[in-house]
Structure 1
Amino acid sequence: MANRLAGATSPYLLQHKDNPVHWQEWGEAAFAEARERDVPVLLSVGYAACHWCHVMAHESFEDADVAAALNRDFVAVKVDREERPDIDAVYMQATTALTGQGGWPMTCFLTPDGEPFFCGTYFAKPQFLALLAGVSEAWTARRPEVLASSGKISEFLGQATAVEPAALDAAALDGGATRLRAGFDSRHGGFGGAPKFPPSMVLEFLLRHHARTGSPSSLAMVERTTTAMARGGLYDQLAGGFARYAVDASWVVPHFEKMLYDNAQLLRVFLHLHRLTGSPLAARVVRETADFLQRDLGTEEGAFASSLDADAAGREGSTYVWTAAELVAVLGPGDGARAAAAFVVTDTGTFERGASTLQLPADPEDADWWASTRARLLTARAERPQPACDDKVVTSWNGLAIAALAEAGTLLGEPRYTAAARACAELVLDRHLVGGRLRRASRDGVVGRAAGVADDYGNLAEGLLALHQATGEPHWLGAAGDLLETALTRFADPAGGFFDVADDAEALVARPKNLADNAEPAGTSALAGALLTYAALTGSTRHRAAADDALAAAGLLAAQEPRFGGWTLAVAEAALAGPLQVAVVGDDDAAHELAAAAWASSSPGLVVATGAPDAPGVPLLADRPLVGGSSAAYVCRGFVCDMPVTTTTELAQALAG
């Protein structure tokens, strides 16, 4: 026996290919070996950018004593949670149920049939060695107790929790905003205390709630939080892009990994804030984050990598933090002192070893000096050890990036962002769509074996629908419709909402179904949003009904715990406010001005179609001719349409009506 991860496609698994532990990938072969040897399975779940996963790897999985115990008494299985979110979801539910909390690395002991009987997260080497010995002893000497425990846990996991559908009407959405206000940190922005995560979907909901109701408090929560995040250490003040979360309540010290899903969603939030308020800070953050995605996460094939690591050369944050002396060494005494003041780099430091994260409480008044200083510091920073990149391409997160970049290209007048969204969509559809079904991920252009899950279908469809609206190209609408048809056929739960995995997916101890929005939209809310947009663009009542049913399935959770229902609530705002359909016919300067006026609307229910009258494959353009030979805009709310207009002034009045 030997370590069998060398042939894996996951960068996280490849990080462990040289461990003395005899790791293998999840699969029937591992469980067959466990049955043959009559030993438990040690399941270790993590991801490439996870700091504490690296710590446990160095302490335990690279250690000869730990490896000897694991190899002797267990079958060791490594799983990348980003590649197999279904496995992660099932065993994280068990971990949370048994310990009261979850996280990564996740450490689970399973029977050879995959049933969990002990779960935890990070263990230091002494505790882990003791745990291995204790579990081995229990498996050998107290097998009936172990099997009885695993049976009860598996029974719990397999129980379908009946959730009564709850419509998210205006009162429920207003109540969600009120609950969020009660937990809002008015001093620092965000919700709750440390650690503090960027609440991207909650912010999107609050923006939409303000757009529908005019609520000053909803907008104030967004503005306070986005400003604090963008000004603090969470944001990379030199290269753009947000870290995963802050370890403190005031956004000063981040956990330094940068995730594609965070940055794609935050880019969209800042973009919509800029559209609503004209904020120059929001516009700058959008451009810098979009540039970060393309420069630092863009793959050679045209898609986007999953993450940048928190560590470099074995030290967390070492790429990003500075001392005052280091600033002086790069910039000279005068500019170094000026930069230290601008970035709040202190003598005592805000991070470890006297170093500071970079904050920017205010944009420097001298734009030329700031541009030069930033460039010089970036050049110097490039000489430092750089964080590793997890360069696998995840379908779902690339869907989020497509949506954000397509909208940014349109709203900011930046065709290169739209082009990047188009290139990404082409790559994902070409490589990840196999036999009409999505795969979860690829790497170096080679698609993996793991099947796509519900949020892959929902978030990619969302991205394709945004790209269709940005470009007027009909095939993106058709591709989104195909994905949604598969989701309706294969993922729908008759009790409401969507399972995370298809009806023909690999059977686990339970079929996961998560209704909570966490770091990214849940499968049900992702599909609800895409179904709603598709219905508005096509007039399909079947897709609108499916969207409404999905929202109701997640409605009770979202209304009661809005911090874990941000995207559900955001989609519900669009459902309540819309559809507001704008069809712009023509292809001249006047048509482009009309389209820009349409996109300026912050209505949560807005959809936009552009192109020639009766353009094939674009239902909103059917039977909508030019007006007197001139380009025109048609505004409809549901099935009630206004008279066409030919000027931006008339269109703005129609949209405000």
Structure 2
Amino acid sequence: MTQPLNRLADSSSPYLRQHADNPVDWWPWGADAFAEARRRDVPVFLSIGYATCHWCHVMAADSFTDPATAAQINAGYVPVKVDREQLPGVDAVYLQATQALTGQGGWPMTVVTDADGRPFFAGTFFRRDQLRQLLDALTRVWTTDRAQVEGIAGKLIAALSAAAEEDRGTASWAAQDATTALPARIVDAGAGVVEGAPTFPPSAALLGLVRAGETDRARETLHAMLRGGLYDQLAGGFHRYCVDAAWHVPHFEKTLYDNALLLRAMAACLADRPADLLVRRAAERTVDFLTGELGTADGLFASGLDADTDGVEGLTYTWTPQQVRGAMEAWRTRMPEELRREPEEAESDARYAMAAFGVTDDGDIDGRSVLTYPRDIGYGSGERGEDLAANEALPWEARGIIDDWKTGGDGGAAENLRMHRVRRALLAARRERPRPAVDDKTVTAWNAMAAVALTEAAGPLTGSPDSTGPDVTVRLWDHAVLTDDDGTVLDVVRCTGEPASPGTLEDCAWLLLALVRAWECGGDDGGDLAGQVSELIRYIQLVFSRAGGDHRGTWYDGADSVAGTGVRPREPYDGATPAAVGVLAEALSYAGALAGTSGDADLRTLGGRWSAEARRILDAHTAVIERHLPAAGGWLCALTAHLAGPVTATVRGASDAQIGELRAELGTSALIVRTEDGAELVGETPGDTAGAVVQICRAGVCEVAQPLPGAGKHR
């Protein structure tokens, strides 16, 4: 008999909908669930996870689909499901509680609270037998020793509240010297160096290293990731992390935020090292992954792909020798009969593919191998022309070969036609397999990350400032921001739909950075983007600022406290994504510098205030950064951008090609603006007959404008 759907069936969260047919009588997060717990005088069983979480699926299959376990939960608790990506503030508070009680945290997260949302028990994954014993024990404590529950909950909430309100630093004259010294200290502490297992991509640190002049260190880590299983060797894009120390075997989930942040880092690396063809190829394929695999019908991006396919982790991405042979034979039979290769040649291609991608009989996971690419397959002397001449009769097969030659590997070694053929054969076979589920919710912060990355990647990848990133930003503003008829921002949402998902500081800060980079690209139609930037900053200050007294420069992550806990989320440390307050500092730095190039005096005045607030944020968080220097990659990005000015190039009469060359010289962290879009040159300038001119400004000090073709290097 089919299980009737519960209250989660109409949720906009794919994670909640995955549990809509559970026998557990789930409630979505909200006041109604806690009111029900109060009415029944039972605790709340809070289960927090996300759609692409492998162990969330395991616990769901083991416990939440079991009728006896579900009956036990329903009888003694009000069960509440939370998508941590949809409600990050809720997740943050209960993660801190879990870490305080157990010393660790993760997902699925299992928390038991009173009717005010105050936790008195927390853990992560439990097997069914463990969970049922735990439920019995907690029910006994709740009914026989309520004083113990009250004592634990009260002490825990007091500790969490104190931690959230702790002033870890302050903006002061003394802090300014410490701020200036921080980038070098972060680099010296080993930012971007990954050791031990599991291995997570240090996305923000890689970008920060390039900005700090440590591109070679960033490339070393990038290349290790790109050679291993973290990177999808066939279709592009990155998995979440690897379970080993050598980037070999991944946890196969793919997220929008990882890929957007890594694209941003690769773009910066390419601007500094344009001949790095391994990074170039990966960046191009990551763009293809974002637009092809995660792109939505409304021109935005889904949140990610599941780690599992048909309940098996990595099934879509892993290979046995037999499957490789089958793919090569299927590709052979697709050829026109008169051009069809012999079966022996398909077998030869299979052996070649297995050697190139590391497919073995033993495999890495249950006899299946993860594809890696430890070395480039290149050409010997004269092979390139001979191979092309031999394959001129196969235009359908050779399509795209020239592009692959341009994007070969280290040292200019290009993929040969055979590698191109086996890669296409494997990819064609993989596309016939079942696909991982898509988490189709649209998260404002992560879409803004993608918009920023696409905008910054355009120059290094194409040599042109034209990008799809500003278009994504415009659509995202319409999707996530509610304004009145005068353009005043009334609300920002993280995700649309139910349950309600209010915008966080992360959403607003990344959207602000996306708006600023779109404004830089000349997408400002009649000042709309400048006005949106100004209005969004006003909204952020109104909703998230802790201004006043010793709080200057510090910000909350959430607009309100969580349920009845009284705890308002505030997390200044980098995690899987950079700390939101650090992103805000970076965005304000760029907004201030861009406004400073405007011919509008009022806008320049605002820009000065924005730059000053960015500096206050950085000064107020020096102690925070000092405590976690190796993991302060996001802060390194904000610091290097602000302390450099950011570097701003104002151009007049420049072609797209000239701007592309200038971008290659200055890097993706620089702002490049045109006088044709309202920017102004400062001081004496060459006459209009001088052709294209450029003026470079660093930390508020501008060089004399000079002709662009003869400007030389500006780093």
TM-score (normalizing by structure 2):
0.84
Of 591, 616, 629 in structure 1, the residue corresponding to residue 655 of structure 2 is 591
Does residue 354 of structure 1 match 2:367? yes
Of 168, 174, 178 in structure 1, the residue corresponding to residue 188 of structure 2 is 178
Does residue 640 of structure 1 match 2:691? no
One-letter amino acid of the structure 1 residue matched with residue 277 of structure 2? P
State how far apart, in whole Å, the 1-side matches of 2:149 and 2:681 are. 61
Does residue 480 of structure 1 match 2:493? no
Superposed, 1:619-638 pairs within 5 Å as 627-628=688-689, 630-638=691-699
Shift of 1:420: 3.0
State how far apart, in whole Å, the 2-side matches of 1:562 and 1:303 are. 34
Q: State whether residues 441 and 447 of structure 1, in contact with CA within 8 Å, keep that contact through their aligned partners in structure 2.
A: no
The change in CA–CA distance for 1:367 and 1:469 in structure 2 (over 3 A counts) is: farther
State how far apart, in whole Å, the 2-side matches of 1:111 and 1:151 are. 11
Does residue 271 of structure 1 match 2:267? yes
* Residue 410 (structure 2) aligns with: none
The sequence identity of aligned pairs, in percent, is 39
Of 101, 115, 120 in structure 1, the residue corresponding to residue 118 of structure 2 is 115
State how far apart, in whole Å, the 2-side matches of 1:132 and 1:507 are. 23
Bigger CA drift: 598-607 or 520-529?
Answer: 598-607
Query: What CA deviation, in whole Å up to 9, does each residue of 1:500-557 have, x standing for no partner?
Result: 0126997753001000111112121111110011011112221111111111233222
Shift of 1:472: 4.6
Secondary structure of the residue aligned to 1:319 is coil
Q: State whether residues 494 and 507 of structure 2, in contact with CA within 8 Å, keep that contact through their aligned partners in structure 1.
A: no
Secondary structure of the residue aligned to 1:393 is coil
The change in CA–CA distance for 1:530 and 1:34 in structure 2 (over 3 A counts) is: same
One-letter amino acid of the structure 1 residue matched with residue 505 of structure 2? A
Shift of 1:563: 3.5
Q: State whether residues 240 and 292 of structure 1, in contact with CA within 8 Å, keep that contact through their aligned partners in structure 2.
A: yes
Q: State whether residues 554 and 620 of structure 2, in contact with CA within 8 Å, keep that contact through their aligned partners in structure 1.
A: yes
Does residue 244 of structure 1 match 2:209? no
Does residue 253 of structure 1 match 2:249? yes
Does residue 422 of structure 1 match 2:470? yes
Q: State whether residues 205 and 570 of structure 1, in contact with CA within 8 Å, keep that contact through their aligned partners in structure 2.
A: yes
State how far apart, in whole Å, the 2-side matches of 1:594 and 1:196 are. 40
Query: What CA deviation, in whole Å up to 9, does each residue of 1:396-437 have, x standing for no partner?
Result: 00111001101112332277x955323322221112101324
Q: State whether residues 583 and 635 of structure 1, in contact with CA within 8 Å, keep that contact through their aligned partners in structure 2.
A: yes
State how far apart, in whole Å, the 2-side matches of 1:499 and 1:158 are. 13
Of 11, 14, 18 in structure 1, the residue corresponding to residue 17 of structure 2 is 14
One-letter amino acid of the structure 2 residue matched with residue 342 of structure 1? A
Does residue 91 of structure 1 match 2:94? yes
Q: State whether residues 627 and 646 of structure 1, in contact with CA within 8 Å, keep that contact through their aligned partners in structure 2.
A: no
Does residue 529 of structure 1 match 2:586? yes
Does residue 333 of structure 1 match 2:335? no
Q: State whether residues 451 and 505 of structure 1, in contact with CA within 8 Å, keep that contact through their aligned partners in structure 2.
A: no
Shift of 1:486: 1.2
State how far apart, in whole Å, the 1-side matches of 2:45 and 2:140 are. 14
Secondary structure of the residue aligned to 2:651 is strand
Which structure would you say has the larger RCO, counting Cα contacts within 8 Å and 6 or more residues apart? 2
Superposed, 1:131-142 pairs within 5 Å as 131-142=134-145
Of 448, 452, 468 in structure 2, the residue corresponding to residue 403 of structure 1 is 452
State how far apart, in whole Å, the 2-side matches of 1:180 and 1:83 are. 33
State how far apart, in whole Å, the 1-side matches of 2:111 and 2:561 are. 25
Does residue 51 of structure 1 match 2:54? yes
The change in CA–CA distance for 1:235 and 1:172 in structure 2 (over 3 A counts) is: same
Q: State whether residues 456 and 668 of structure 2, in contact with CA within 8 Å, keep that contact through their aligned partners in structure 1.
A: no
Does residue 493 of structure 1 match 2:542? no
The change in CA–CA distance for 1:164 and 1:604 in structure 2 (over 3 A counts) is: farther
Does residue 548 of structure 1 match 2:589? no
Does residue 566 of structure 1 match 2:633? yes
Bigger CA drift: 561-570 or 304-313?
Answer: 561-570
State how far apart, in whole Å, the 1-side matches of 2:499 and 2:143 are. 37
The change in CA–CA distance for 1:409 and 1:506 in structure 2 (over 3 A counts) is: farther
Of 507, 512, 517 in structure 2, the residue corresponding to residue 456 of structure 1 is 507
Secondary structure of the residue aligned to 1:601 is helix
Does residue 581 of structure 1 match 2:651? no
The change in CA–CA distance for 1:440 and 1:254 in structure 2 (over 3 A counts) is: farther
Shift of 1:170: 4.2
* Residue 339 (structure 2) aligns with: none
Shift of 1:371: 2.2
The change in CA–CA distance for 1:138 and 1:4 in structure 2 (over 3 A counts) is: same
One-letter amino acid of the structure 2 residue matched with residue 248 of structure 1? D
State how far apart, in whole Å, the 2-side matches of 1:328 and 1:526 are. 48
* Residue 290 (structure 2) aligns with: 293
* Residue 208 (structure 1) aligns with: 211
Q: State whether residues 106 and 121 of structure 1, in contact with CA within 8 Å, keep that contact through their aligned partners in structure 2.
A: yes
Shift of 1:626: 6.1
Query: What CA deviation, in whole Å up to 9, does each residue of 1:115-134 have, x standing for no partner?
Result: 00000111110000111111
Q: Give ranges in structure 2 of 5+ residues lacking alignment.
A: 329-345, 379-414, 484-488, 597-606
Secondary structure of the residue aligned to 2:621 is helix
* Residue 215 (structure 1) aligns with: none
The change in CA–CA distance for 1:442 and 1:622 in structure 2 (over 3 A counts) is: farther
Secondary structure of the residue aligned to 2:79 is strand
Q: State whether residues 649 and 673 of structure 2, in contact with CA within 8 Å, keep that contact through their aligned partners in structure 1.
A: yes
Bigger CA drift: 364-373 or 10-19?
Answer: 364-373
Shift of 1:591: 3.2
The change in CA–CA distance for 1:94 and 1:624 in structure 2 (over 3 A counts) is: farther
Aligned-CA RMSD value: 2.3
Shift of 1:471: 4.0
Q: State whether residues 410 and 470 of structure 1, in contact with CA within 8 Å, keep that contact through their aligned partners in structure 2.
A: no
State how far apart, in whole Å, the 1-side matches of 2:303 and 2:523 are. 28
Query: What CA deviation, in whole Å up to 9, does each residue of 1:267-304 have, x standing for no partner?
Result: 11111111112211111111000010000000000001
Q: State whether residues 11 and 499 of structure 2, in contact with CA within 8 Å, keep that contact through their aligned partners in structure 1.
A: no
* Residue 363 (structure 1) aligns with: 376
State how far apart, in whole Å, the 2-side matches of 1:621 and 1:71 are. 70
State how far apart, in whole Å, the 1-side matches of 2:564 and 2:263 are. 36
Shift of 1:485: 2.0
Query: What CA deviation, in whole Å up to 9, does each residue of 1:27-60 have, x standing for no partner?
Result: 1100000000000001111000000000000001
Bigger CA drift: 572-581 or 198-207?
Answer: 572-581
Secondary structure of the residue aligned to 1:634 is strand
Q: State whether residues 392 and 441 of structure 1, in contact with CA within 8 Å, keep that contact through their aligned partners in structure 2.
A: no
State how far apart, in whole Å, the 1-side matches of 2:436 and 2:663 are. 38
Q: State whether residues 230 and 250 of structure 2, in contact with CA within 8 Å, keep that contact through their aligned partners in structure 1.
A: yes
State how far apart, in whole Å, the 1-side matches of 2:303 and 2:593 are. 31
One-letter amino acid of the structure 1 residue matched with residue 316 of structure 2? T
State how far apart, in whole Å, the 2-side matches of 1:242 and 1:400 are. 15
The change in CA–CA distance for 1:503 and 1:6 in structure 2 (over 3 A counts) is: closer
* Residue 163 (structure 1) aligns with: 168
Higher gyration radius (CA): 2
Secondary structure of the residue aligned to 2:591 is helix
Shift of 1:322: 0.5
TM-score (normalizing by structure 1):
0.91
* Residue 154 (structure 1) aligns with: 157
Does residue 608 of structure 1 match 2:672? yes
State how far apart, in whole Å, the 2-side matches of 1:22 and 1:447 are. 17
Secondary structure of the residue aligned to 2:80 is strand
Does residue 517 of structure 1 match 2:574? yes
One-letter amino acid of the structure 2 residue matched with residue 356 of structure 1? S
State how far apart, in whole Å, the 1-side matches of 2:686 and 2:147 are. 75
State how far apart, in whole Å, the 2-side matches of 1:455 and 1:623 are. 41
State how far apart, in whole Å, the 1-side matches of 2:318 and 2:584 are. 40
Bigger CA drift: 356-365 or 494-503?
Answer: 494-503
Secondary structure of the residue aligned to 1:354 is coil
* Residue 313 (structure 2) aligns with: 316
The change in CA–CA distance for 1:503 and 1:141 in structure 2 (over 3 A counts) is: closer
